[in-house]
Amino acid sequence: MFVTEQTRDTTTTTTGSAFRPVLQQALRYALDHLENLDRAPVSPMATLDELRARLDRPVTDAGVEAATVINDLVADARDGIIGSASGRFFGWVIGGSVPAALGAEWLVSAWDQNAAIHACGPAVAVIEEIAGKWLKDLLRLPPTAAFAFTTGSQLAHVTGLAAARHALLARRVWDVERQGLAGSPRIRIVSGHQRHGSIERAVRLLGLGSDSVVDLPTDAQGRLAPDTLAAAFRDRSDALTIVILQAGDLNIGAFDPFTDLIPLAHQNGAWVHVDGAFGLWVNASQTYRHLLEGVELADSWVVDGHKWLNVPYDSGYAFVADPRTLRDAVSHRTSYTAFVEGARDPIDWNPEWSRRARGVATYAAIRQLGRQGIADLIDRTCHHAQALVRRIGALPGAEVVWKPTINQGLVRFLSRGADATSADHDNRTDEVIGHILKAGEAFFGGVTWQGMRCMRVSVCNWQTSDEDVDRAVTAVDIALRR
Ligand SMILES: *Cc1c(COP(=O)(O)O)cnc(C)c1O
C-alpha cells in the first residue's frame, strides 16, 4: 500500500518536476533580462566569432539535462541579445512587448495547440476569431473583411496578394489555383517607388515576377499623386492591375492620398492592396487618423502586431475585403481534417497547415491596452520621435532631414570641413552612428534616403519615456563631440 502510494506520488512529482525547475529558471532569466534593460547596453557587445565559439557546442549522444541547456543558453548568448525591448532602441521599426502579450505568448507555448483547425485547438481558434474582429474595429476596416494571422507583413503580403491574383485572373476566366500561371494573362503591379522590399518578394513568391512591378515616382512628401496613377492607367487600360499603396513608409512615414487614389484605381478595374505594416495603427488615434482617410475602401490591407502594437515577434495580419477571394486562394481541405460546424478554421484563411496560435498574444495586448491605451501608445511614441528629431537636429554638427509626421524621422551629421562634400557628410553620418552604437546607450540605424546617408529615428516601444529621450539625445551629443 505504502509502496503504491509512493509510486503514484513520485510519478506525479516527476511529471511536474520535469517542467517546473526549468520554467522557473527561464522565468528568472527572462526577468533578469527585462528588469535590467535600463542599465544594459542596447547594442550587441559580443562579436560574431565569440558567439559562434560559445554556441557551437557538440551535440552529445546522451543529451544534456534540461536545466543545463537553459543555463548554457543564457550564458552563451550573453552580450549577443540586443536591447530592442528597451525604451532606448530606435533602430529599424521595432516594438517591444506589453506584459500581457508576452505572458500570453508563454501560455501559447505551454498549451502547444495546433491552430490549423478549430478541432485541434478550440479555444485558440475562437481567440483568433475574436482578436480578428477587434483588430478590424480598432483599425477601422470593414467588419466583414476576412483575416489571417501571419508571421509578419511579409507573409501577410503573400496572403493578400494571393487573393488579388485569384480575383483578377478569375475575371478572365482563369482559375489560377487549378491552372497555374503558365499561359495566364499577365498581372502588373503598380506602386510608388518607395515601397518596402517585402512587396517585391511577395510578388516573386507568387510567380507574378518582379518585372511586372511598375515604379511610379512620388511627390516631395513621398506620396503617389493621383495624376501619376491616372497616367499609368492611360498607358495600359486593358491590363489586370494591382495597385499597392503605402500607409506609413519606413523612412518618413508617408501616406498615399487614399480618398483620391482608391476610387481612381477601382474605376480602372484594379485591386488595391495597402501596406500599412505599422502606419495602419494610426487609425486607432484621433490625432493622426486623418492621414488614413479613405483607406477602408481598399481590397486588402497588411499590418503588423509585432511593431507598433508591441506584441512579441511572429505577429502580422492580412485583411481581405471580399472573404471569398482569400478563401478560394488559400483554403485547403483533406479527408482527415475534422471540421466543426460554424467554427472558424484558420486553415481556410492562412497559407499554413500546422501553426502556433499566434493570434493569442494580439488578443492579450488589445485587452491590456484598451482603445485609449492603444491611442496613447501611438500619440506618445509619435511625440517622442518628434522630440528626438528636433533635439538631435539642434545639436552642433547635426541637421534635421525629415521632421516626423508620425513616429519616423531622419537626421544627418555634417562634416566640419569648410569645403566638405556630400560624400564627407555621408561618411560623417555613418561615423557618428558607429560611435553611438559602440557606446551602447541608444540604438539608431543608418539609411540612404534620396541619395543621402541619414540616421533614422523610429519610436515604436511602449516603454520609451521622456528620460529615455534625454539619455538618447545626450548619447548623440557625446558621439558628436568625438
Ligand atoms: C516592416 C515592414 C514590412 C515587413 O514586415 P515584416 O513584419 O518584417 O515582415 C513591410 N512594409 C513596411 C512598411 C514595414 O515597415
Q: Is the CB of 277 under 6 A from ligand 1?
A: yes
Give the span between the Cα atoms of 293 and 379, in whole angstroms: 18
What are 316's strand-pairing partners? 150, 304
Q: Where are the beta strands (DSSP E) in 24-145?
A: none
Q: Is the CB of 152 under 6 A from ligand 1?
A: yes
What integer pLDDT is reported at residue 7 of this predicted model? 41
- Counting atoms of ligand 1 from 1, which one is nearest the CA of 316? 7
**What sign for the dihedral angle of Cα 164, 166, 169, 172?**
negative
Instruction: Tell me the CA–centroid distance for residue 231 and ligand 1, in Å.
Output: 28
Instruction: Tell me the CA–centroid distance for residue 13 and ligand 1, in Å.
Output: 46
pLDDT above 80: residue 63? yes
Q: Is the CB of 160 under 6 A from ligand 1?
A: no
What integer pLDDT is reported at residue 16 of this predicted model? 59
Strand order across the beta sheet in which 452-458 lies: 398-402, 408-413, 452-458, 445-449
Q: Is the CB of 315 under 6 A from ligand 1?
A: no
What integer pLDDT is reported at residue 333 of this predicted model? 79
Give the span between the Cα atoms of 209 and 168, in whole angstroms: 16
- Counting atoms of ligand 1 from 1, which one is nearest the CA of 279? 13
* Half-sphere exposure in the Cβ direction for 461 (13 Å, CA): 23
Choose among 282, 285, 308, 309: nearest CA to 363.
309
Q: Is the CB of 276 under 6 A from ligand 1?
A: no
Tell me which amino acid residue 91 is: G
Q: Is the CB of 250 under 6 A from ligand 1?
A: yes
Average model confidence (pLDDT) for the chain? Answer: 94
Q: Which of 94, 153, 406, 447 to mutate to test the pocket of ligand 1 (most atoms within 8 A of CB)?
A: 153
pTM for the model: 0.95
- Counting atoms of ligand 1 from 1, which one is nearest the CA of 154? 9
Per 3-state DSSP, the chain is made up of helix, strand and coil in percentages (nearest 5) of: 50, 15, 40
The 3-state secondary structure of 198-251 reads HHHHHHHHCCCCHHHEEEECCCCCCCCCHHHHHHHHHHCCCCEEEEEEEECCCC
Tell me which amino acid residue 89 is: F
Grid-cell match 511586372, residue found:
212
Tell me which amino acid residue 107 is: L
What integer pLDDT is reported at residue 17 of this predicted model? 82
Please write the tens of the pLDDT for every residue from 170-221. 999 999 999 999 999 999 999 999 899 999 999 999 999 999 999 999 999 9
Q: When comparing pLDDT for 281 and 12, which is higher? A: 281
What are 445's strand-pairing partners? 456
What integer pLDDT is reported at residue 259 of this predicted model? 98
Instruction: Tell me the CA–centroid distance for residue 26 and ligand 1, in Å.
Output: 30
Please write the tens of the pLDDT for every residue from 324-337. 999 999 998 777 77
Strands 240-246 and 187-192: parallel
Write the residue with the smallest CA distance to atom 2 of ligand 1: 277
Write the residue with the smallest CA distance to atom 14 of ligand 1: 277
Buried b / exposed e over 438-467, threshold 16 CB at 10 Å, is ebbbbbbbbbebeeebbbbbbbbbbbbeee
Q: Is the CB of 274 under 6 A from ligand 1?
A: no
Please, are residues 105 and 360 in contact by the beta-carbon 8 Å criterion?
A: yes
User: What are the grid coordinates assigned to 463, written together?
Assistant: 516603454
Q: What is the mean pLDDT of residues 37-52?
A: 95
What integer pLDDT is reported at residue 476 of this predicted model? 98
